[in-house]
Amino acid sequence: MPLSEHEQKLLEQLEKQLHEDDPKFANSMGSDPGRNWSTRHIVIGVLATLAGVLLLLVGVSLQSIFVGVLGFIVMGAGVYFATMRSSAAGGRKTGKRSSFMSGLEERWDERRRGEP
């Protein structure tokens, strides 16, 4: 549901005020348009993390330091992989959603530049 003109003006005022009050925080909250979350990365990362936890528990139950450390490493790699963002240029953007999101991003950029 699109915002009304009044709501858009309020949102722009809030954004402007945030940039004036704390520009460092405002810039850190902005998103990089070339990066996005990948569902595939999240699923694979969660599965690897679960496998790492399982391996860690097996290592503890067998009292094997090597297996426990290996499980911890797999678990850490899974978390890293799940939180990694993929590049929009390298990722697959298909269908209606990507063009819809691209349109919204273009409109947002135009507003920030002050273009109509």
- Cβ within 8 Å of residue 51, ≥6 positions away: 74, 75, 78
- Per the model's pLDDT, the better-predicted residue between 87 and 2 turns out to be 2
Is a pLDDT exceeding 60 seen at residue 17?
A: yes
How would residue 91 be classed by pLDDT, with cut points 50, 70 and 90?
very low
For 67, half-sphere exposure in the C-beta direction (CA atoms, 13 angstrom radius) is: 13
Is a pLDDT exceeding 50 seen at residue 90?
A: no
Is a pLDDT exceeding 60 seen at residue 88?
A: no
Q: Is the pTM of this model over 0.75?
A: no
Element (H, E) at 23: helix 23-29
- Cβ within 8 Å of residue 54, ≥6 positions away: 71
